[in-house]
Amino acid sequence: MDTSSIFTVKKVQKRTTEAQAADRLRDAILSGDIPLGARLTEIQMAEQVGVSRGTIRTAFHQLVQEGLLVQVPYTGWTVMTLSAHDAWELYTLRASLEALASRLVAQRVRNEPTADGPSTAITSAFARLKAACSKGNKRVIAQEDMNLHKAIVTLSNHRRLIEQYSLIEHQVRIYIQSSDALVLDPDEIVGQHDPIVRALLQGEEDAAVAFAARHNELEGAILVEHLQKLDQA
């Protein structure tokens, strides 16, 4: 066999129309083009996306599973909102999941001190967050913030943990966007994550767990208080 003709090329991803429609709607919600709390109808979105009502209905059900849409009986479909209680649930759940991920990743760093080990991926993800903060684009900052946290979870190599995190991933993205929007100086966001990254890169399990939990609890409490004030107003 002539191996000179074999190249590394990604295979074509076959995706159903329903999956593509869900992608379009998800991207619009996460980017803010469809605002939180917006009411959606099958007819309206089928026309805008250019698919059938049945396709949109399937896409809507997918987004309900992801927590981005809420189906209201006899009323229709509404984009999720972020209440103070929602934020509390998300940050307390994240604190548990990400603390476990941090412990496992710190163990891997200590046991796999190689160029292709987890340290490289963590360093790269943190560098992208710092670059985004230096440019000041809030949407990109929130995206890279989420990407860093997701990278840590993924690097845990804990399949069930990764699956559980994926169930709330898109809700967490909206949570992070809302939380980061309250930070006036983007350098503060770098400072929030620096202790976590340092502990991970040094393979210090207890410190990584403590810093990950502390980050979620401190920033989560700030967002909850902000949302409570909005509710009262």
How much of the chain exceeds pLDDT 90, in percent?
Answer: 86
Residues in the chain: 233
* Together in a domain, 30 and 107: no
Q: Whose CA is closest to 171, among 88, 77, 66, 97?
A: 66
Residues 103 and 152 in one domain: yes
Q: How confident is the model at residue 6 (pLDDT cuts 50, 70, 90)?
A: low
Residue span of the structural domain in which 150 resides: 84-232
124 plus 65 within the same structural domain: no
What's the structural domain count of the chain? 2
| Average of per-residue pLDDT across 200-208 | 97
Query: CA-CA distance, 94 to 1, in Å (whole number)?
Result: 50
The answer to whether residue 107 is domain-embedded is: yes
The per-residue pLDDT for 208 is 97
Domain boundary pick from 48, 79, 110 = 79
Whether the predicted pLDDT of 23 surpasses 90: yes
pLDDT of 192 strictly over 60: yes
Same domain, 93 and 197: yes
- Considering 31, 58, 79, which residue would you say is the last residue of a domain? 79
For all residues of the chain together, what is the average pLDDT?
A: 93
Q: Report if residue 31 sits inside a domain.
A: yes
Residue 39, exposed/middle/buried by CB under 10 A (0-12, 13-18, 19+)?
Answer: exposed
- Residue 89 sits at the vertex; the CA angle it makes with 132 and 203, to the nearest 5 degrees, is 55
What SS3 string covers the chain? CCHHHCCCCCCCCCCCHHHHHHHHHHHHHHHCCCCCCCEECHHHHHHHHCCCHHHHHHHHHHHHHCCCEEEECCCEEEECCCCHHHHHHHHHHHHHHHHHHHHHHHHHHHHCCCCCCHHHHHHHHHHHHHHHHHHCCHHHHHHHHHHHHHHHHHCCCCHHHHHHHHHHHHHHHHHHHHHHCCCCCHHHHHHHHHHHHHHHHCCCHHHHHHHHHHHHHHHHHHHHHHHHHHHHC
Q: Out of 11-15, 162-166, 215-219, which region has the weakest mean confidence (pLDDT)?
A: 11-15
